[in-house]
Amino acid sequence: MKIIIIGCSGRMGQAIEENAESFGIEIAAGVDTQHLRQTDYPVYTDIQRIQEHADCIIDFSHHSMVKSVGEYAKSKKIPVLFGATGMGTEELAYIDELSQEIAVLQSANMSLGIQVLRMLAEKASKILSGLYDIEIIEKHHNQKKDAPSGTALLLYNSVKKGQSHAVFGRQGKEALRQSDEIGIHAIRGGGVPGEHEVAFFGAYDELNLIHRARDRKVFAIGALQAAKFLCGKQNGRYDTSDIIQECLGE
């Protein structure tokens, strides 16, 4: 199996490159606006100039690249995986449209551990909603630009029920917690790769579900697993929860 890495010179691109061989995956080509290091594969500044064949595209560059990468993937009839965060409504709508033509997997977090956390949090919410207060806390390195993280929002969408709504931090004298709130809090510091916690607070106990990424390699490994999952799939929109379902045989 061969892949094209968009954003190959970035930290995630390099992590994917370092782990590809262990998955039996060959890198056919890379794309990056700044190519400052030696690689065993050709690197282009323009995706349209790629001549090499590939079975899947992995894009961790920037959400603004979605359409150009998507149009290339559509023209070549190959699946594409989008891992960049900060997707807007227009970009997500384009991915929906693209998935009618080719197989597309888009996720704010490629870690399979995060998907297990999401599934557990969703089940806990169904049982505890209305009885427990729910708070989501995410921690990342001090260079992360967006807040809250896309993964925190993914978790929020998994646990919200009925009239519940998000509250991003609390400040002021009128900050008394309401019963239908789900608090989302972002912490930035040092070199934290990523930590996400969904906490359920009852009157007399609490339940904390936590995922800690200790190295970016966990996201690269998830992306490579996702690429193998996508290869040969029919057109449609997939996410990493589909990989979990396949693992469970559901």
The set of catalytic residues is 140, 144
Tokens 């990989």 locate to: 243
CA angle (69, 233, 43) in 5-degree steps: 30
- For residue 134, the SS3 value is strand
173, two tokens: 């004298």
**For residue 137, what are its two tokens?**
């806390």
> 235 is written with which tokens?
């057109």
Report the Cα 234 to chain-centroid distance in Å.
Answer: 21
Per DSSP, 232 falls in state T
DSSP secondary structure letters along 53-79: --SEEEE-S-GGGHHHHHHHHHHHT--
CB 133 within 8 A of CB 161: no
Residues 44, 110: Cα–Cα separation, whole Å? 25
Range list of H helices, 44-161: 66-76, 89-98, 112-128, 150-159
Q: Which helix (H) or strand (E) holds 187?
A: strand 181-188
